[in-house]
Structure 1
């Protein structure tokens, strides 16, 4: 699935309809003629708008009653996408993950054999894992280090997902954040190197940028300056290509920033 970039180099995943009909723009900051040149490598999406106005976006059918909006990569290789269960009891059959899968719940709930994941939960299934999805609805941000495999289900091993509730008020006290520079703390999630994915939660109160090399940065709480542009909660900045790129992450003066960052590739 290909998407034509709009002026300023920002990729547009919306249908071709008048901007006035959109209300809140799903691509925050697109069309800004003052955009820094580096921003041409990324797209910026307001995830609240995706959930509120899904018909304004270009989806492809992934499974019956399950649609996919591909943001980077291709469906038959590593890719980043938003999944939309269009019915209240959506399902996906048993499938195998040869490499790490990441799922962040934008709005809704997803259920598999390991439990139910609700708004703000992010989980990572390791290489060798597999599951069937049932009784699920809503919108989910996914990163696949390899595409789901519906044929090799005999290869599924016992596993435990890495699961974090990003809405937990005690999140930054519960996990072991490292001081990486003045005003910046980072928790690197314990993912398996052979899974082909890294992830971190970044907390900063500093106006001095912290550089993260990865595929996307999602603002969880506060406001985050990413590559010199300020973004509110639930705004996603995602690279158009699957090769990781550098993001300069900071807190605007007087603000704090908590962000989830995900990258393909081992540590």
Structure 2
């Protein structure tokens, strides 16, 4: 059964303040929107063990978050939906290369209303409006564009694409019927209320989807941030990620074979 933050006696705007804490130690996390539910549960499990600590999360598109950190936004940890934006922050001097770990993988799917016939990405040409995450700001859009380019339909679909700010917005568009469907991560598709998975995109059509976590240059000097960073690599965190549809097999996470 999933951990409910209310059951743990904590208030959540994903600021997990435990009731008995007088002066909580803050850990600030900037994380890809697709990690929201899983990270909330991981943080709840962590603060149950360490009630004097507070995890404060800022969710959004990986690229937008990286630019915020580059410009000085407070963050101890950064969780991206691809390695590119982590490398961007390493080049900007905001992350040290040795402070990066891969947490999970994911897959790409097409979701839409039940009854639509979508067996390949080429079938999208017969649909009307299709939601896609903006490739300029979020990796989900980059992966989707790569897949559509690989089957030769991206250019033909250009006039039908509705750009979402992040993957959660794309799912909402599909749920509300504002589009025929959306290309999103499987972990997000599993949270849809109305839309269903119609097609699982073959992994060879796009770059590998990975979720690196990194301590920022300020976070590596925060003992509480380091402790949460280590907890993200634990078996407890792995089990939670897996329960939300993320890929955590050994071949994806070779360095995470036991709790750290």
TM-score (normalizing by structure 1): 0.24
Larger Rg: 2
TM-score (normalizing by structure 2): 0.24
Q: Which has the higher strand share?
A: 1
Which gives a bigger RCO, structure 1 or 2 (Cα 8 Å, sep 6+)?
Answer: 2
